[in-house]
Amino acid sequence: MKKAKEQKNYLKVRVFFVLAFFIVAFSLVFLRAFQLQVLESESLKAKAARQHVRSVSLRSKRGDIYDRNFKELAISIDVDSVYARPTQIKSKRALSRALAPIIGLKASEIRRSLSSGRGFVWVKRQIDLDEAERAKIAAMKGVGIVKESRRYYPNNGLASNLLGFTGVDSNGLEGIEHSYNTYLSGATRKISGGRDARGRLMLFGDTGNVVPVEGMSVELTIDKTIQYVTESALQSAIDKTGAKGGTAVVLAPATGEVLAMATAPGFNLNDFRRTSPELWRNRTVTDSFEPGSVAKVFVVAGALEEGLVKPDDIFFCENGSYRVADRVLHDAEEKGWLSVSNIIKYSSNIGASKIAEKMGRETLYRYFSAFGMGTKTGLDLPGETSGSLLDVDKWSGVTLHTISFGQGVSASSIQLATALGAIANGGFLMKPYIVKEVKSGTGKVVKANNPVIMRRVISAATARSVRDMMVGVTGEGGTGTKAAISGFDVAGKTGTAQKPDFEHGGYRKHAYVSSFFGFVPAENPVLTIIVTLDEPQKGHYGGEVAAPVFKEIASKSLTYLGVTPQGDMHPSYGKKRGAAKALRSGVGTKEVSLRRGFAPDFTGLTMRKALRVSREGDFDIKMIGGGLAVRQSPGPGRPLKGVKSVKVWFQ
Amino acid sequence: MAVLKIGDTDRFLVLSALALFVMGVVMVYSTSYIVAINRFGDEFFFIKKHLTYAFIGLVMFVAASRIPYTIYGKLVYPILLLALVLILFIYVPGFGFKAGGARRWVHLGPLAFQPSEPVKLAVVVFLAYSLSRKAERIKDFYFGFLPNVIIPGVFIALILMEPDLGTALTLSALVLIMSFAGGVRLRYLLGLFVPAVPVLIYVVEKHPYMLKRLLIFMDPWKDSLGAGFQMVQSFLAFGSGGVTGVGLGEGMQKLFFLPEAHTDFILSVIGEELGLAGVGLVIVFYVVFLVSGINITLKAKDLFGTYLALGLTVMVSMQAAVNMAVVMGLLPPKGLTLPFISYGGSSLIINMIAVGILLNIYIKNAEEAS
């Protein structure tokens, strides 16, 4: 019995040993937990965060770019990107071999990327796979496909210099893609967490944070058809004349909207990497040149406005040779006495100089400045040049004269087109713009551009006089007869400028910038067009090489827009989009005054304008039909009295 | 059960197991729902199965607490035979099921289970019976030592052949500890290591991944994207949790970074989501369970009850300690579940049966005392 009890005591001791053993074991476990969770917590946390955050930046689908009629100019399409998780791959060699023919990479290249030591690698990004290929990849372990969006330009080279392009990281590098990148790319969200170890998106918790915000779409003022017409006319002129390049801009003079903007040679946007970066610039905006004779238009406009000359005043043009200070000025055609109108018509340098003499430096400078020389137009495209207009204090003895025929001053195509617009529209310098609207993915208008009047440069009467003189240019005996379009009055001006020789000073012998600018129909212009050709080889006079390009762009565009020789607009175009009519609205449309609690007068407004007006009031607008507002309910000026929405009918 | 009094060991025992189980249910859900949605399109896929097993376990628990534990002593040989049959099923085509390079599972109709779990229970019953019968002659090599080594040794060998090194080793440790408590001479027990070493070397050589695991255990950061991936991810989970954790369900590591998050590595998720506080709580509950089990051991009137209670307590505590040590990198990876908490049918059911038997030992003892 005693022995049994003794044994029981020994048992007790041994059981306590077991208990102690486990207490120690659990204590050690707790101490280890303390070490991991308190002492090393910070460094482990940082490591963990790195692996989670590394793969959670969400890129939104880039917004599309449309022309004014909602034709696609740049879109984002879904493509496949193949990734791998090397740790899950059994045989890198076998996998690389299997993958190589599908994605078109060398097996050795794939193996190299698989061996980079990272947990997640892109094997090939942005490729087009068909269903069978996708299924093959899906069956492989450790490899997967994600949808990414890639930029695609459905018209390849159309408006290339204007649209620009994006890099592989989906950032706009040039053109609209660059200047509107923040809108187009949408919000790129970084969230802490959200992708699992396989790199897949995990939605959990507050999903509102995870849903990517789609990029906004940009609607341009560009008309795809006019853009096409412009580009092909420009290109064929380059082919014909052997010019190094050329530019053309088409504006709506009433509003400042850019309808077309071409730089030649262009490039294929879908393959931009294969072309020289030299070609990527939008030279209508980035490059300036000495305008030559087209500048005479601004001299005459200023002199008329100041009342210094009248259209019929005559000047002696020295029979083609006029000594000023240390220089002798020449005319292409030797003329005696010429009226102001004929100075424009025959493009007399000496005549222009004499008008400038009458104006004096300050006045001439003031008018050139007012027309926008030496100042950026503020068009929202990257890299705009301001051109150059020498400060009046720095003018030498002959500057006044040379500037009057466009030497010693330089401007970009867009500057000259904008300036000419002021003559076309009755005296207003309009700020040019190329983006009509920016819309969010949900269709909400985020940004809308409207016509902006910079200033009145000349009176309507002066504008009319200058216009009449410019019509003479394309009339019989003028320098720009090749720009004439049968049935239409065309106001225009030729320009032929020798290119400055930057190495030796002075001007180069056989290098010209040949240009033509004008507007049609002269009475009630819809289009302002400027064409420049850089160093044409076969012929170099603006009236000879550039005027036909103008004619082609203008006549085709007028036909397309349905503008009749009488100046009427074809109804279908206007009705369809309300767009062509808007080309003529803008300036001259009445200002709509808003009185709280009363319905404003919508009649005669475009839908866009009506919408804008309604946004300023405390009511909604219900728009019926299309075109211009003809009727509304409640009527103009009627009290709203609790009415929440105003109905407006358009025709 | 409203008020807990010191000495109410049965309540401590049951409540600690229950607390661990409830934590398990919550954590299995938190850990598995994303995987479940991804793989099965049903966030409750795993938790439903888990609760089904838990229900079976609960029935077994109640039954075990009602069945007089002395009956196991009488049925020790049928129990051993049943265990033997079960584990041999693994090698019967049509029943045995290979997963991850090892035959550990048996399919019986809709049920899949690991025979090594009931084997553990059978070995504990056998040892308790054997040790309590030997009494005086326990110090003897032939009577006290050999039978207690050879019969469990057969099972250990069979488990080793699956191969399931983790279970084999913990079962070996269980045999050692019980034999030690039963009074088997320490030098015989220590002498076991002499033949064990070549066997271990043989097994490890035959299955190279085991050696790899062992080496990686020394420094998992060396190959943090390869073999050390799981360990490193586990460390990151613990570290991310800090003291208070990132919050229930908020953990990132379970999103495929941490393989087996809802089974073997569930403590890592607890560490991440509930922090040191959660891990500490788990340890406290295991300690409560351990102390309660030891208390029942010491109060048991007969030797069979004593050894049985000790064996069951050690069985659960051992697995808990080893699992926790593994996920924190104190021991090489084993493939063991965390008792009461991990998702895992067979393990949960067997552990609940163990609690039921412990409770019955307590009840019988209390009845006799009064």
CATH number, domain of A621, equals 3.30.10
**Cβ neighbours of B258 (radius 10 Å):** 27
- Please tell me whether residues A31 and A106 are part of one structural domain: no
Query: A415 φ, ψ to 5°?
Result: -65, -45
pLDDT computed for residue B138 by the predictor: 66
**Which pair of structure tokens corresponds to residue A414?**
């867009």
Q: Which residues pair with A262 in a beta bridge?
A: A248
Provide mean pLDDT across the span A499-521.
89
User: pLDDT by residue (tens digit) across A242-285?
Assistant: 999 999 999 999 999 999 999 989 899 988 888 888 889 999 99
Q: How far apart are CA A162 and CA A237, in angstroms?
A: 20
Q: Is B250 on the interface with A (CB under 8 A)?
A: yes
A595 lies within 8 A of chain B by CB: no
Q: Is A139 exposed, middle or buried (0-12, 13-18, 19+ CB in 10 A)?
A: exposed
Chain A residues inside the 8 Å CB shell of B239: 36-37, 40-45, 47-48
Are A160 and A240 in a shared domain? no
Nearest to A441 by CA among A171, A211, A607: A211
Residue B280 and residue A21: Cβ atoms within 8 Å? no
**pLDDT surpasses 70 at B7:** no
Number of domains in chain B: 2
- A11 to chain B, minimum CA–CA distance in Å? 6
pLDDT at A441: 76
Nearest to A38 among B34, B276, B287 (CB): B276
Minimum CA–CA partner of A51 in chain B: B257
Q: In what order do the strands lie in the sheet with A629-633?
A: A620-625, A645-650, A629-633
SS3 sequence of A462-478: HHHHHHHHHHHHHCCCC
Most distant pair of Cα atoms in chain A: their distance: 152
Q: CB A14 to CB B181 under 8 A?
A: yes
Evaluate if residue A323 carries a pLDDT over 80. Answer: yes
Per-residue pLDDT at A292: 93
Give the separation between CA A290 and CA A312, rounded to whole angstroms: 28
Other Cβ atoms closer than 10 A to B207: 15
What are the tens digits of pLDDT across the range A535-547? 999 988 999 999 9
Confidence (pLDDT) at B188: 76
pLDDT at A78 over 90: no
Nearest residue, CB atoms, B256 vs list A33, A47, A198: A198
Which residues in chain A have Cβ-Cβ distances shorter than 8 Å to B181?
A: 11, 14-15, 17-18
Domain match, B269 and B315 both = yes
The answer to whether residues A532 and A627 belong to one domain is no
Read off the pLDDT of residues B159-168 as tens digits, 9 standing for 90 and up.
888 778 888 8
Q: B residues 17-36 near A, CB within 8 Å?
A: 34
| pLDDT, position B255 | 64
Residues A15 and A63 in one domain: no
For residue A100, what pLDDT band results from cuts at 50, 70 and 90?
confident
Residue of A nearest to B315 (CA): A22
Q: Is B184 left (phi over 0), alpha (psi -120 to 50) or beta?
A: beta
B345-369 vs B9-40: helix crossing angle, rounded to 10: 170
Which of the four pLDDT bands, split at 50, 70 and 90, describes residue B240? Answer: confident
Residue A60 falls inside a structural domain: yes
Domain end: B206, B235, B268, which one?
B206
Residue numbers of the domain that contains A428: 224-268+285-561
How confident is the model over B214-240, as a mean pLDDT? 77
Cis peptide before B163 (omega within 30 of 0): yes
Q: Which residues of B touch A196 (CB under 8 A)?
A: 34, 255-257
Cβ count near B191 (within 10 Å): 13
pLDDT value at A501 more than 90? no
Does residue A258 share a domain with residue A135?
no
Same domain, A456 and A549: yes
A211: DSSP letter: S
CA angle A28, A31, A37 (to 5 degrees): 140
pLDDT band at A132 (very low <50, low <70, confident <90, very high): confident
User: Is B267 contained in some domain?
Assistant: yes
Q: Are residues B362 and B216 in the same domain?
A: yes
Q: Is the CB of A40 inside 8 Å of chain B's CB atoms?
A: yes
Over 80: is that where the pLDDT of B57 sits? Answer: yes
Q: Same domain for B132 and B86? A: yes
The answer to whether residue B330 is domain-embedded is yes
DSSP assignment letter at A336: S
What is the pLDDT confidence band of residue B335, given thresholds at 50, 70 and 90? Answer: confident
CA distance A7 to chain B (A): 9
Using a 10 angstrom Cβ sphere, with 0-12 exposed, 13-18 middle and 19 or more buried, the burial of residue A394 is exposed
Same domain? A87 vs A6: no
Which helix (H) or strand (E) is A225 found in, with range?
Answer: helix A224-241
Cα(A617)–Cα(A599) distance, rounded to whole angstroms? 9
Same domain, B111 and B139: yes
Stretch A316-336: mean pLDDT: 88
Of B242, B279, B328, Cβ closest to residue A45: B242
Residues of B whose CB is below 8 A from A28: 325, 330
B321 interfacial to chain A (CB closer than 8 Å): yes
Range of the domain at B294: 22-66+207-370
Task: List the single range of A478-482, A599-603, B106-110 with lowest mean pLDDT.
Answer: B106-110
**Which residues of A are catalytically annotated?**
293
Residue B11 lies in a domain: no
Least confident of A241-245, A338-342, A592-596: A592-596
A17–chain B Cβ distance below 8 A for any pair: yes
Q: Are B235 and A36 in contact (CB under 8 A)?
A: yes
Does B208 sit behind a cis peptide bond, omega within 30 degrees of 0 on the bond before it? no
What six digits make up the tokens of A554?
């203008």
- If asked whether residues A461 and A607 sit together in one domain, one would say no
Q: What are the structure tokens assigned to A174, written together? A: 């040039």
User: What's the gap between Cα A174 and its chain centre?
Assistant: 9
Of the candidates B180, B239, B318, which has its C-beta nearest A37's C-beta? B239
- A196 and B325 within 8 Å at the Cβ level: the answer is no
ipTM score here?
0.92
Average pLDDT score over residue span B180-190: 80
Chain A positions touching B183 (Cβ under 8 A) are 7, 10-11, 14
In this predicted structure, the answer to whether residue B95 has a pLDDT above a threshold of 80 is no
A360: how many CB neighbours lie within 10 A of its CB?
14
B49's enclosing H/E stretch is: helix B45-66
Which residues in chain B have Cβ-Cβ distances shorter than 8 Å to A44? 235-236, 238-240
**The domain boundary residue, chosen from B206, B241, B272:** B206
Residue A594's pLDDT band (cuts 50, 70, 90) = low
Predicted confidence at residue B290, as pLDDT, reads 96
Test B297 with A41 for CB contact under 8 angstroms: no
Residues of A in contact with B236 (CB under 8 A): 44, 47-48, 51
Residue B135 sits in the same domain as residue B275? no
Whether B7 is in a domain gets the answer no
**3-class secondary structure, B214:** helix
Same-domain status, B198 and B100: yes
Give the alpha-carbon dihedral of A347, A353, A356, A362, to 10 degrees: 120
Q: What is the pLDDT of residues B103-132, one digit of tens each?
A: 667 766 666 678 888 899 999 999 999 888
Express each pLDDT in A438-472 by its tens digit: 988 778 888 888 888 899 999 999 999 999 999 99
**Pick among A8, A36, A38 to test the B interface (most B CBs inside 10 A):** A36
Is B4 contained in some domain?
no
Nearest residue in A to B322, CA atom: A25
In this structure, chain A runs to a length of 651
Chain A residues close to B321, C-beta within 8 Å: 22, 25-26, 29
Nearest to B152, CA basis, from B166, B141, B168: B168
Which of B177, B252, B330 shows the shortest C-beta gap to A18?
B177
Helix (H, G, I), strand (E, B), or coil: what is residue A77? Answer: strand
Q: Which of B181, B225, B291 sits opposite A119 (nearest CB)?
A: B225
pLDDT at B1 over 80: no
Which residues 205-244 of A are in CB contact (within 8 Å) with B? 205
**A516 and A392 both lie in a single domain:** yes
Looking at the fold, whether B36 and B111 belong to one and the same domain comes out as no
- For A504, other C-beta atoms within 10 Å of its C-beta total 8
Based on the fold, state whether residues B103 and B201 are members of the same structural domain: yes
- Poorest-pLDDT segment among A424-428, A539-543, B216-220, B302-306: B216-220
Whole-angstrom CA distances from B150 to B123, B127, B134, B143, B304 are 11, 11, 15, 11, 20
Strand partners, A507: A500
Closest CA to A414 of A457, A385, A450, A453: A385
In this structure, the answer to whether residues A196 and A299 fall within a common structural domain is no
Is A196 found in the same domain as A310?
Answer: no
How many inter-chain contacts (A to B, CB under 8 Å) are there? 134
Distance CA B234, CA B289 (A): 26
Contact B225 A17 (CB under 8 A): no
SS3 A513: strand
The answer to whether residue A426 scores a pLDDT higher than 50 is yes
- The average confidence (pLDDT) of chain A is 83
Share above pLDDT 70 across residues of chain A, in percent, rounded to a whole number: 84
| Closest among A627, A251, A607 to A425, alpha carbons compared | A251
Angstrom CA distances, A294 to A232, A291, A407, B103, stand at 24, 6, 11, 92
Confidence of residue A46 (pLDDT cuts 50, 70, 90): confident
A120 in Cβ contact with A164 (< 8 Å): no
| B317 closest CB neighbour out of A16, A22, A47 | A22
Domain for residue A115, yes or no?
yes
Q: In this predicted structure, what is the pLDDT of residue B44? A: 85
B287/A contact by beta carbon, under 8 A: yes
* Structure confidence at residue A649 (pLDDT): 77
Mean pLDDT is lowest, of B85-94, B96-105, B129-138, for B96-105
Distance in angstroms (rounded) separating the CA atoms of residues B26 and B37 = 17
What was the pLDDT predicted at B139?
Answer: 67
